[in-house]
């Protein structure tokens, strides 16, 4: 036993001497450092994962409340999410959206400008900045951001936002810059439009506001191919055809519009005027001579009532010509038709007050035949 103890003691002494050697001590310390580092890294990753999970949980709640338009709750939840991930792009963007919902655009603008610096090609950020600049009345900046939004990269599930951006830009231009720029944007938009009836109807409305009646009519007709009884598109097509002076076509659209929506008083008034033009225009093709003469006599009488009310040099001319403007007189001298109508148009253009009824119809007829 004593000999064994001595052997064991010697081995222990040798082992102690071995571990006291500098290289061995360094190796042991390095091993301990590695173990400690791995442990700390593991704890750090677990801590970070927990923080990310908490941030994602708050973010998911915020997204749900944002979709439900519960903006107060969404703002609180997105701010809570940012406590766990202060620089997260999506968290900041959604917080800005919620702040816009609360009309706290100043706070939202700060977040959006920061996000724009990080990703200037983000379509949604550009669109929201454009809307804020439009509200502020900064037309140059609003237009710039709208263009950036139109030509930005959009996720495939948000491609409709590009169209929305251009439509909003057109609305903005119509309200601030006038028709010319809006028309050019609309024409560019039309080239990339599909056949969706609702979109075509909206584009038609915008063309109508921009006073581009030909393109408006074209857009409404595309819409009506899919929805023949769409009262709004019928009314728009009728209005566009009316402004183009295509009164028979306007009548057809307006009759259908009023039938589809009897409360549409504006279409009903246009329809009445279009019918009046058709009844009073003596220069229509393929009408009997006797009917033409009757129209001229009635138009001359209408102009006479107006010139008597307003006076002026044309009254003397009208009174001098009046005895000859009868159906029998026009049969004897057909050249009087144009002479009489020239005077009618002159009276209607130059007389006092705003024309209405038959006088307004005669002005439209005059405009229809200008230069003929």
Residue 81 covered by a domain: no
- If one compares 44 and 231, the residue with the highest pLDDT of the two is 231
Q: Which of 230, 261, 280 is the last residue of a domain?
A: 280
Instruction: Kindly provide the residue ranges of all beta strands, DSSP E only, lying in the chain, ordered along the sequence.
Output: none
Q: What is the pTM of this model?
A: 0.76
* For residue 43, pLDDT beyond 60: no
Q: With contact defined as beta carbons under 8 Å apart, do 96 and 124 qualify?
A: no
Range of the domain at 267: 198-280
Same domain, 309 and 245: no
The answer to whether residue 145 is domain-embedded is no
The length of the chain is 372
| Residue 185 pLDDT | 87
What value does the CA radius of gyration of the chain take, rounded to a whole number of Å? 40
CA distance 292 to 327: 9
- Return the pLDDT at 130: 96
Structural domain total, the chain: 2
Query: Which helix (H) or strand (E) is 294 found in, with range?
Result: helix 289-310
Measured in whole angstroms, the distance separating CA 38 from the mean position of its chain's CA atoms is: 57
On whether both 266 and 293 belong to a single domain, the answer is no
Q: Are residues 303 and 346 in the same domain?
A: yes
Do residue 253 and residue 301 come from a single domain? Answer: no
On whether residue 16 sits in a domain, the answer given is no
The pLDDT tens digits for 282-296 are 999 889 999 999 999
- Asked which of 280, 307, 331 is the last residue of a domain, the reply is 280
Q: How confident is the model at residue 365 (pLDDT cuts 50, 70, 90)?
A: very high
pLDDT at 203: 92
Answer for the pair 206, 187: CB distance below 8 angstroms, yes or no: no
Residue 58: count of CB within 10 angstroms of its CB: 20
Q: Which residues pair with 153 in a beta bridge?
A: 122
Q: Which residues contact 339 (CB under 8 A, 6 or more apart)?
A: 321
Note whether 290 and 371 are same-domain residues.
yes
Longest Cα separation, the chain: 160
Q: Would 306 be classed as within a structural domain?
A: yes
Model confidence band, residue 311 (pLDDT cutoffs 50, 70, 90):
confident
Quick check: is 142 in a domain? no
For residues 323 and 294, membership in a common domain is answered with: yes
Same-domain status, 252 and 323: no
Query: Given this model, what pLDDT does residue 46 score?
Result: 56
Pair 313, 274 in one domain = no
What residues contact 338, with CB distance under 8 A and at least 6 apart? none
pLDDT tens column, 160-216: 888 889 999 999 999 887 788 888 888 888 877 778 899 999 999 999 999 999 999
306 and 324 in a common domain: yes
Cβ of 159: how many Cβ atoms within 10 Å?
Answer: 10
- Asked whether the beta carbons of 201 and 232 are under 8 A apart, the reply is yes
The token pair at 34 is 């590695």
CA trace torsion 142, 145, 146, 147 (10° rounding): 130
Confidence of residue 246 (pLDDT cuts 50, 70, 90): very high
For 16-29, write each residue's pLDDT tens digit.
Answer: 565 566 765 666 55
Q: Answer for the pair 101, 71: CB distance below 8 angstroms, yes or no.
A: yes
Q: Residue 109 falls within a domain, yes or no?
A: no
How would you write 18-65 as a 3-class SS string? HHCCHHHHHHHHHHHHHHHHHHHHHHHHHHHHHHHHHHHHHHHHHHHH
For the chain, give the mean pLDDT. Answer: 87
Q: What is the pLDDT of residue 159?
A: 80
Same domain, 304 and 354: yes
Has residue 208 been placed in a domain?
Answer: yes
If pLDDT is split at 50, 70 and 90, which confidence band does 317 have?
Answer: very high
In this structure, the answer to whether residues 296 and 372 fall within a common structural domain is: yes
CA angle 113, 115, 117 (to 5 degrees): 70
Domain of 220: which CATH number? Answer: 1.25.40.10
CA distance 181 to 140: 13
Last residue of a domain, one of 243, 265, 280: 280
**Token output for 365:** 């007829």
For residues 275 and 297, membership in a common domain is answered with no
In a domain, 187, yes or no: no
Q: Is the pLDDT of residue 89 over 90?
A: yes
Tens digit of pLDDT for each residue in 150-165? Answer: 999 888 888 888 888 9
**In this structure, what are the phi and psi dihedrals at residue 279, rounded to the nearest 5 degrees?**
-75, -25
């Amino acid at each position: 036993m004593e000999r064994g103890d001595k052997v064991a003691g010697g081995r222990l002494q040798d082992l102690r001497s071995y571990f006291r050697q500098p290289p061995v001590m360094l190796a042991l310390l390095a091993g301990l450092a590695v173990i400690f580092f791995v442990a700390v890294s593991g704890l750090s990753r677990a801590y970070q994962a927990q923080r990310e999970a908490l941030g994602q949980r708050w973010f998911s709640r915020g997204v749900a409340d944002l979709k439900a338009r519960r903006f107060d709750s969404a703002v609180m939840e997105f701010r809570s999410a940012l406590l766990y991930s202060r620089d997260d792009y999506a968290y900041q963007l959604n917080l800005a959206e919620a702040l816009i919902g609360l009309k706290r655009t100043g706070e939202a603008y700060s977040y959006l400008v920061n996000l724009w610096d990080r990703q200037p090609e983000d379509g949604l950020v550009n669109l929201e900045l454009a809307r804020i600049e439009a509200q502020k009345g900064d037309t140059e900046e609003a237009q710039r951001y709208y263009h950036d939004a139109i030509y930005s990269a959009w996720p495939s599930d948000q491609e409709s936002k590009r169209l929305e951006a251009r439509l909003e830009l057109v609305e903005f231009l119509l309200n601030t810059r006038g028709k010319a720029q809006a028309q050019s944007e609309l024409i560019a938009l039309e080239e990339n439009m599909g056949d969706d009836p609702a979109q075509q109807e909206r584009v038609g409305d915008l063309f109508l506001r921009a006073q581009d009646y030909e393109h408006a009519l074209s857009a409404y007709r595309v819409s009506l191919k899919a929805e023949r009884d769409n009262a709004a598109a019928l009314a728009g097509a009728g209005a566009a055809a009316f402004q183009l002076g295509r009164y028979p076509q306007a009548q057809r659209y307006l009759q259908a519009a009023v039938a589809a929506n009897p409360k549409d008083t504006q279409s009903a008034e246009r329809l009445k005027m279009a019918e009046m033009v058709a009844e009073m225009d003596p220069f229509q093709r393929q009408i009997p001579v006797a009917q033409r003469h009757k129209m001229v006599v009635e138009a001359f009488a209408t102009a006479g009532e107006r010139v008597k009310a307003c006076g002026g040099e044309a009254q003397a001319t009208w009174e001098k010509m009046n005895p000859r403007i009868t159906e029998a007189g026009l049969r004897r001298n057909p050249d009087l038709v144009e002479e009489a109508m020239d005077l009618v148009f002159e009276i209607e253009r130059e007389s006092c007050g705003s024309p209405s009824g038959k006088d307004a119809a005669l002005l439209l007829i005059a405009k229809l035949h200008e230069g003929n």
